[in-house]
Amino acid sequence: MQYNIKLIILTLLTAGILFSCKKDEETIAAPSISDFELGYDNSQISYLGADLHMEANVVAEGKINTIRVTIHPEGEEHKSTAEEGWEIDTTYSSFYGLKNTNFHEHLDIPTTADTGHYHFHFIVIDLEGNSTEMEKELLIMKPADTEAPVITITSHPEENQTFSSGQTITISGSITDNLALGGLYVGLVRVDQNLSNADVSSANTITLLHTHEFDSQTQHSFTAQIVVGAAQDNNTTPKDLTGNLDGGAAWQSAQYYLLVKSPDAFGGGTAFSEHYLINLNL
């Protein structure tokens, strides 16, 4: 009887060790990338002076560390930007720690870039060190349009109206274009940042609205709003508004203005609204 008990204990211990070893040997699957889109209407084409649409669904069992995008001219993968012209190497850290996400970002294509064929690389690295890469061909062309969108504002705050914590800032209007709208951004810009209209972006201002989804290709009506003091803004990937006091992406008692901007999908330029001045008293 004592021998049988010892045998049972030994068997259980052996099974436990084997199970533990098997568990230790299990590997975390590399991230997966699906439903990838590049360029307007997934055309894999972009235009000088326009922005490049990028979208994908990412699943990472080991949780996302970074997502990296690189673009380089065909055949020039290892040459420097300074010597060879326009390239991109951008790392997105805002998806850190997520197991799955919809990556939807846009990159500006400068008017100084060379036209032609480029290689596009989309790289996801998880916290386990696993990585998955997707490559695409990208064609950058001269603008196929010469008309920028038109912005019409139908309602906005009164000039120099003061807003306090908990109050809602709202602006409404519409955008139209002769061929196709490329995007819509509504930002709250602190006056003392001294930003040009072209430099206003989701990275340096408080976002009320940021979209590339429209009622139709040529027309879209919008209402953008945000509650003063909100912890996050309304960017496609919301930004924290509680820190970064030296930057524009945080609440401060200061004079601000609302700006609406809308780029053309085919490189016809970007439309800007006038500045709608308001004051924040937090």
Same domain, 84 and 155: no
Place of tokens 């519409």: 174
Say what the pLDDT of residue 123 is.
98
Rounded CA separation 189/197 (Å):
10
Say what the pLDDT of residue 101 is.
94
Q: Does 42 map to a domain? A: yes
pTM of the shown model? 0.79
What six digits make up the tokens of 160?
A: 């120099």
Same domain, 126 and 169: no
Same domain, 180 and 275: yes
Same domain, 188 and 273: yes
Q: Does 1 map to a domain? A: no
List residues bridging with 261 in a β-sheet: 185, 272
How many C-beta atoms surround the C-beta of residue 103 within 10 A? 22
Q: Does 24 map to a domain? A: no
Range 186-197 burial, b when 16+ CB lie within 10 A, else e? bbbbbeeeebee
Mark the ranges of the chain whose per-residue pLDDT is less than 70: 1-26, 75-84, 243-248
What six digits make up the tokens of 206?
A: 């408080």
Asked if 165 and 282 touch (Cβ cutoff 8 Å), the reply is yes
Rounded CA separation 3/13 (Å):
15
Q: Into how many domains does the chain fold?
A: 2
Asked if 173 and 260 touch (Cβ cutoff 8 Å), the reply is yes
Provide the CATH number for the domain around residue 217.
2.60.40.10
